[in-house]
Chain A
Amino acid sequence: MIDLNMPEKVETMQNNMKNLARSMFRPISRKYDEAEHEYPKELDFFRNLPIMNKPKKKDPAKTAAPKKPAGEDGGAKLGANLGLIFSTEALCWGDAALLLSLPNAGLGNAALLAVGTDEQIERFGKKWIAMAITEPQSGSDSGSISTTAVLEGDEWVLNGEKIFVTCAERSDAVVVWATVDKAAGKAGVKSFLVEKGTPGFKLEKLEHKLGIRASDTGTFLLNNCRIPKNNILGSAEVKQGTEGFKGVMKTFDNTRPLVAAMANGIASAAIDFLKEQLEKTGAKLDYKKNVHNLDSVEKAYYRMEAELEAMRLLTWRAAWMADNQLSNNLEASMSKAKAGRMATLITQEVCDICGPVGYSRKYLAEKWMRDSKIMDIFEGTGQIQHLIVARNVLKLNSSELR
């Protein structure tokens, strides 16, 4: 039954996470924004905290009983995806770049958990794993990558260049996307676990960025890089059509709401900052008066808060669906399309409204404006999210709507 009240337990959990962010992230937020590429050693505190966990083995007694589809009474539950969404938002209220730098919580870790075998999870579960999809010539069109993987005996041989890899320097291993059959197009794209230190695997350079400077972003060169045969994630078989590629893309259904939650966290930080400024000047926010009878700053404040509510609800819904085994491809993209864009606009507007206080590096508002912009770019740009939503609701395929 529809009930969008936040359970008290969750609220408490989120407050705890926010306190953690307040005490551990905020004090070093500026420091690592300025010390670009330097690993925030304070984050070692999190190294052994279970942030991305191996999902608990399902109780066989429970899985045996036919699962009621969510949407029917009693099927709803609050699960791991939603939990991660709440903590991600709270931590990004502290600092999104530091969240991205949390040890052992890379995008590659998410991919490993989503599609890795028990044996692979055993071998790599304790490592920090980055994700390398993007190439100089393949950004949004990730199906067009040209890094190759060729099976030679018991080893895959990888060749190519990967750019914009988050946690490039800090990670212990990287999930690398490569094609095993260029002629097969998307169907030939597979992902491989490549450990740091493997000969032929080289970190080429680190980027200097607009924002999220505490998060390192780098380029890898793969030059006849040999990895064990069983380091392929998922099946090596090249299936007809796009089904296989869709499988690879499925991790995004879980990670896109996470990026949306990061956007929500930054937006909420900016909105809270504006609220503080407003309250210092004696404004009383009572959620009553016709907005047209308020001053423009109060009106802007309410509008942004309403947007944040919408961003959150779209995000929670996408994660809730994943927790309840409902296909959320559409809703995941909706959440990121909305949150990525609005967080960008909200942080811009907060800076503008705060004037000198927004512009000065004495405060964090300017940093949030720089940080938030990435949320509308990585894990699929805003345009790509709109493309996915549009194809979904219009029932068009990728050749009809390009």
Chain B
Amino acid sequence: MLDFSISKEQKMIKNEIAKLVKDLVVDNAHEMDETGEIQPETLQSIWEMGVSTAGVPEEFGGMGPGGSPVDTALILEELACGDMAVAVAATLPSLFIQPLLQFGTPEQQKKYLPMYCGEKYKPCTLAVNEPHFRFDAVDLKTTATRNNGGYVLNGEKCFVPLARKAEHIMVAASLEGKSQLFIVESGNPGMHIGEREKNLGLYSLESSEVKLTDCQVADDDRLGEENGCDYDRILQRTRIGLCAMATGVCRASFEFVRKYAKERVQFGEPIAHRQSVAFMIAEMAYEVDAIRLLTWKAASRLAAGLDAGRESYLAKLYAGEKAMKICDYGVQVLGGHGYVRDYPVERYYRNSRGISILEAMAIV
């Protein structure tokens, strides 16, 4: 059934998250970006909303049934509308929990889910990106080879959020030409976690490179053990996650300039009265909606148990391109004021570039 309306429950979740974001994130986002720190209380408050544990059975500490991909997309949009770095950090455990939930063996679920679905926010993370030109998430350079009844991992990862704080990192590697996920414990001598990275965007999100040198893991450290996992499916879900965050970042930029353009007076009139300004804002308005609708469409397919390969791919392609355009307009509407860090539009501009470049920063 084609339905564009938000249900009562969805509206409730959305409003709750929006309120939290307004109280804890919006006014602090600049400070967080400058200092590079997200207050632990903020992450804890969002954690307590159950954004990462909806859908996890209660016996493992989760919230039980719920957490449809569409609901999660709504949540990610709201969080990223406050700040994308917070959206990534706050929902980071999902990137570990969700693949486990979908593809982990009962033993793996029993071992890890209770560890990460407790009352306290506890970082665990996923390593997909690799630090080289022409990186492609479906053509990984990091390899896994069978060895001693387990696997040996070799390669380099980058942009691994909270890698230095996580006790477990799920690492994507190519095993016999097929991408798979492996759980690596932080103390593993074959895994070296680099210094904190400095990147274009997401200043307040701590991330690092991760080097794997003959990193030995056991056979039951492979997600799904011998059956493995459907990596493409996980990629579909993370791509939709990025699109949902793109919607949020772009909406923030749009909402900011919509207000600003009516207040800023030049040549005796608000700049909003000029078509070249107003038309940029009009385009921002419908492109934000377009990104959101593409996100919802891809998420709807997942929710119905359908393959979302095509839809998530096109949505990410679209969101990556338009997010940049929208946030570019966002800076332009403010002129020189948009270029200085006192205003949030330059942050949106930097963060939006990550939508096309990054993979696996959030999951629906």
Contact = CB atoms under 8 A, between A and B. Distances in A.
Given A3-B303, A396-B272, A321 B4 contact: yes
B134 A293 contact: yes
A328 to B, nearest CB: 11
B314 A10 contact: no
Contacts of A292: 134
Contacts of A10: 2
A4 B293 contact: yes
A393 to B, nearest CB: 5
Nearest to B262: A394
A287 interface: yes
Interface string A78-108: 1000100000000000000000000000000
Interface size class of A (residues with CB under 8 A): 35 or more
B1 A389 contact: no
A314 B4 contact: no
- Choose among B281, B300, B317 the residue with the greatest number of A CB atoms under 10 Å from its CB: B317
Interface stretch (A68-76, A153-161, A165-173, A250-258): A68-76
Interface in B228-243: 232
Contacts of B138: 288-290
Could you say which interface size class chain B belongs to?
35 or more
Q: Is the interface of B mostly helix, strand, loop or mixed?
A: helix
Interface in B261-291: 261-262, 270, 272-273, 275, 278-279, 281-283, 285-286, 289-291
A306 B294 contact: yes
Contacts of A61: none
A4 B134 contact: no
A7 interface: yes
B321 interface: yes
Nearest to A305: B314
B317 A291 contact: yes
B273 A4 contact: no
A310 B5 contact: no
B290 A4 contact: no
Nearest to A310: B290
A317 B306 CA distance: 22
A390 interface: yes
Contacts of B304: 3, 5
5 contacts: A288-B313, A289-B139, A390-B278, A394-B281, A395-B262
The 6 closest A-B pairs by CB, nearest first: A313-B293, A390-B278, A310-B290, A389-B282, A1-B7, A334-B286
Given A3-B3, A6-B2, A313-B294, 8 more contacts: A2-B296, A78-B1, A289-B136, A290-B136, A309-B311, A386-B282, A387-B282, A390-B281
